[in-house]
Chain A
């Protein structure tokens, strides 16, 4: 069992697809992950299941890996007891979650932006450039910079879960670059495909962070580090205050525009 606990999850699910279904049953959504380098043992710890649920999960996985054999299950070890599933974020992490809410409000408009996009229209071209400006300046430079430069810095950089998050950020930047290339070529399909790819990636990425990564990080940050991180975030927020207001207004503006467009289409 120990060997399997230390196997990257993508390899595990590739060899034993049933393991993916069992993880899904316990709310662990590793199957669609494109990276899949996290070890099974780390994944179970990060999800902070109750002791009973963890034993049940390992029991079912053991039955798949070693059919008709009794194998000892790993001991349940956890930094804090698993409490009710309501997530309570520390103040600095809560700020990142609030920033996700603005990004998700933008992402929710992407299907309508894509549906109505006209590659021949200068106005539509401008709308895409504004959207790219929001993604690059707010989502990437401001928000991801706080994550990568500050929050992630409190953890071992070799952690698989952090590599997965960095890879998501890199893929996001890739979609934006390809989106701009498609826009330059006047390639409507390319613009639409990259917008959709970015929206799908960010939706899944934010869900992973809000529900799994951030709660796990909060459980492993000392009170002192939370305070220190809060001060560092305050400093970044102060520097970006004007830009933050600008991008909040941008999202409110395009919400008004595309909701009106959607209503006319109906």
Chain B
């Protein structure tokens, strides 16, 4: 027994930091972000950078956990971020994602979430939006471990 019986999403964990080579520290990776704003309540599905785009919907915590998030996931995509546990007004999220499918006619949606159970809610919002949408769009999902390793990478079944 660990003595912790609450939500795994709030469980305190301290990671051992691994040795990082000086060369790796010295590399300045360019940002792959190509728009502003990025928070899902703030973005507009009518924005030109969503038209026909590959869109990344990331859980707030994911970019901090994944060391190479910009190159591995953000590159070439338009972005929205949200937290399915703490954010209010999630009905508006479903409607906004539906508008991305129907009005912005996005090419794909990639949902990056953390392994903690509450984060599954973000993928669930995307699936609900797809069910309400007139268009079908492939949804890819990536589940990240607490230290950024990819635990699952797959596609939502039609």
Task: Name A's B-contacting residues (CB within 8 A).
Answer: 88-92, 94-95, 223-224, 226-228, 230-231, 234
Contact = CB atoms under 8 A, between A and B. Distances in A.
A230 B23 CA distance: 41
B43 to A, nearest CB: 19
A91 B54 contact: no
24 contacts: A88-B155, A89-B155, A90-B138, A90-B140, A90-B155, A91-B136, A91-B155, A91-B157, A91-B158, A94-B155, A94-B158, A95-B158, A223-B54, A223-B77, A223-B140, A224-B76, A226-B108, A226-B140, A226-B155, A227-B108, A227-B137, A227-B138, A228-B107, A230-B136
A226 B138 contact: yes
Nearest to A83: B153
Contact of B154 (A88, A223, A230): A88
A24 B136 CA distance: 40
Contacts of B137: 227, 230
Contact of B108 (A88, A89, A223, A234): A223
B110 interface: yes
B contact residues, range:
10 to 19
Contacts of B154: 88
Given A91-B155, A95-B158, 9 more contacts: A88-B154, A88-B155, A94-B157, A94-B158, A223-B140, A224-B76, A227-B106, A228-B107, A230-B108
A231 B155 contact: no
Contacts of B106: 227
B107 A224 contact: yes
A224 B76 CA distance: 9
Contacts of B136: 91, 230, 234
Contact of B54 (A90, A227, A231): A227
Main secondary structure of the interface of B (DSSP, over half): loop
Given A92-B138, A234-B136, A227 B155 contact: no
B54 A224 contact: yes
A127 to B, nearest CB: 34
A190 B54 CA distance: 52
A-B residue pairs, 6 tightest by C-beta = A227-B108, A227-B107, A91-B138, A88-B154, A230-B138, A224-B54
Nearest to B107: A227
Interface in B110-155: 110, 136-138, 140, 154-155
Nearest to B56: A223
A61 B110 CA distance: 41
A26 B137 CA distance: 36
A219 to B, nearest CB: 10
B158 A223 contact: no
Nearest to A223: B108
Nearest to B157: A94
A13 to B, nearest CB: 35
B151 to A, nearest CB: 10
Contacts of B140: 90, 223, 226
Nearest to B54: A224
A234 B136 CA distance: 9
A227 B137 CA distance: 7
